[in-house]
Structures are given as structure tokens and as C-alpha cells.
Amino acid sequence: MEELIKTMNDIKYLNDNIKAFSLLSKDNKLNFLEKIKEMRTEIAGQFLTEVYVIEKDKQVRKTIKKLLFRLKTVGVKVDETKIEGESVLRKIEEKREHRGLMSNYDADGIRMAMVAFEAKRNTYVLVHGILHFSKGLMEMANAPVDGEGLKGIIGEYINDSGKPFTVVEVSPRYASYIMEEASSLSGRFIEEMKQMKIFSTRLGGQVQKPADIYNLEIPEAIETISLERILAQELFASFSLVWDTMEDDKKLFEGIGGSSSIVLPPYMVEEKKQEFLKELLNSNKLKPSIPFMKRLMEDYAYIFHCKGNFAAYKGLADTLRDPDGPFKTVSYFARKVLEIKEEKQPGLIVNPYEQVHTPR
């Protein structure tokens, strides 16, 4: 945003600045407009006139209109004829289509992300990534596809996804973001990500970063539901928390209340289990998982929103606003692991590149 402000009065950056403004979130747009309200130049007037055309949000449009009126009252020339004209984005660059996909995690802590960039008309570069919950980007592949091929690939992913593995279409910028984030975590495919960013920084979409997930629009009548009800839903069924001493901790947990010759009442057994779990969560065994759990919750909130499950979305967003929210979620999954007796179900993603192909 600061770079945008610096170049506001340079005519050669006008088109780039209009495009950059269009990609900002609503709050950032309003913040930016507040910062430039004292500008009294014709270039500022031209910028405001043209972004007014492409802006959809009523509050942002109203703010732009006020700034245009202020410029006119101090004698700055403002071209009013453009206000009802066609979108200036059509003049800035050829409109191109970009697509993004994201899944939930399987039992091995693996998920997929995919983004397709339209490099030129009807020619796409499809980038497919396999991401691990705590290890980041594990595998990456890319392939050129045409429009019909891309439609088929996305259709296969969406149609073949089902309980408990779910694939949803998301903002292409966000699909790219989570791969970039995962690459930084794993330290792999760094050079490939640098190349991808040449395209991804130009992508639009309402959700571009995790912070954008918190304020997605939902119907006013939607009421939140408890975290326990959310975590019991199918989307979370395949996820399992893993840590190094898990098997030893399970044995200790199972033995609580059963090793003494004195039979403890159930409430005392539960108290001891709660204390064991609390110590485990505060140890270095599980503490590192909390930031990763926060990101999982954000992405799952986005998936819930994409699927129209607004009550679960709202519940997760509200939980995330609680500083202890991710801690509570790690606690839930840690206890689930400690209490489970059967073997963990196999991973859901068998062949990560099965969908990445160039159609015949």
C-alpha cells in the first residue's frame, strides 16, 4: 500500500495503481482512500474516477465519490464522463481466467492445492502441489493444458471428492498463497515458487491471504455452533494429529486410573486425564503444532464457506478470534488420538499426480 501511495502522482504508474487498488481488501481500500484524501492533483482525480468504475462495494464507492467531490470543490479538474463508462480494467489488460483448488487433509496429514494460470488465450499452466500439515510443500508438478482439459481436470477433482476427502474451488491467489507458504516451510521448490510469483501476484479474488477469510459474507440469520460440533463434522474426520512420543503417551494415558489397587471413581480418572493432557499440550511435544492448527482452522473455515456451511464457518471464525482457539483444537485432536484403539485409516491421497495430465 505504501508503494501505491508513493507512485500515486506519477502518470506512468496509473494503470498499475488502478489494478493494484482493485486487488485490495475492502478495509485496505478504505484505509488507502483515507491516506490520499489530502491529495489535490489531476492524476489523483483521474485515478479516483477510474477506480470508481470498477468498484463494486457501495461503501468504497461512496468514499471515492466524496473524494472526487472534494477535488472538484478545490478546483481540481475531474473527468465525470468516465464514471458511468465501461470497466477500465478492460483497457488495462486482456481479461484472463485463473482457477484454484484446495482440499482438506487426509489421515496422513496430506492435502492438495492446485492453481491454473492462463498464460495466453486458452492456454493454461497448471501447478499442482502436495502439502503436509507441519512439513510444508512435499511435491510439486506442473503441466500445460488447454481450456477444455482444465475444465475436465477440475470437474474430476470436484466430482470425485467425497466423504471425508473434500476438494473445493477457491480464490486462485489463495491457492497460490498456500503453496508459497508451504514452500517456505519445507524449504523446497524455492526457485519454482519465485517463477510462480511472477504470475500469482497479479491474481485477484476476494480471499488472497488468511486474514481475508475472517470477514467473508454470510446471511445475517446464521448463528454460530460450538467448536465440539464443528470438529465432529465430516470435514475433520480424516485428520489425525501426530507427534514423536504419541505411542508412549497413549500407553500412559490408557493406564491412568488402572494401575493402582484402589479403584478410582470416574471423576477422579477424568481429572487425572485432563491433567495429563494439559501437561502434554504445554510440553514441546505438541506446542509446535498450535500455529499449524491455526492455519488448518482458517483453511477449513474457508472450505466450509465455499460449501455453504455458514454456521460451521462462523463458528470457526469466532473460535479463531479467541487466542486460545487453536490450543483448544489441538487439545481435542490430541485426546482423540490418545483414546483411539484401532489402527489409523490409510491416507486418502494415493496418487497425487493422477489428475495432472495433458489431455489427448
Closest listed residue to residue 102, CA positions, set 124, 145, 131: 131
Residue 95 CA to residue 180 CA, distance in Å, equals: 24
Asked whether residue 359 is domain-assigned, the answer is no
* pLDDT (tens digit per residue) in 292-325: 999 999 999 999 999 999 999 999 999 999 999 9
Asked whether residue 219 is domain-assigned, the answer is no
The answer to whether residue 241 scores a pLDDT higher than 90 is yes
Residue 164 CA to residue 160 CA, distance in Å, equals: 11
**What domain range includes position 272?**
227-339
Closest listed residue to residue 316, CA positions, set 335, 293, 337: 293
Asked whether residue 332 is domain-assigned, the answer is yes
Among the candidates 92, 115, 132, a domain finishes at 92
Residues 6+ apart with CB under 8 A from 63: 30, 33
Q: Are the beta carbons of 53 and 86 closer than 8 angstroms?
A: yes
Asked whether residue 351 is domain-assigned, the answer is no
Number of structural domains in the chain: 3
Closest listed residue to residue 153, CA positions, set 193, 100, 93, 108: 100
Same domain, 173 and 272: no
Asked whether residue 218 is domain-assigned, the answer is no
Asked whether residue 347 is domain-assigned, the answer is no
Residue 247 CA to residue 324 CA, distance in Å, equals: 26
Same domain, 333 and 253: yes
Asked whether residue 346 is domain-assigned, the answer is no
Asked whether residue 360 is domain-assigned, the answer is no
Percent of the chain with pLDDT over 90: 50
* pLDDT (tens digit per residue) in 125-138: 899 999 999 999 99
Same domain, 107 and 197: yes
H-state helical runs in the chain: 2-6, 14-22, 26-35, 42-54, 58-73, 89-92, 147-160, 172-186, 190-200, 227-231, 234-237, 246-254, 266-282, 289-306, 310-321, 325-339
pLDDT of residue 105: 96
* pLDDT (tens digit per residue) in 172-222: 999 999 999 999 999 999 988 888 887 777 777 789 999 999 999 999 889
Coil, helix or strand for 226?
Answer: coil
Q: Residue 359: pLDDT band by 50, 70, 90 thresholds?
A: very low
Residue 18 CA to residue 88 CA, distance in Å, equals: 9
Beta bridge partners, 118, equal 124
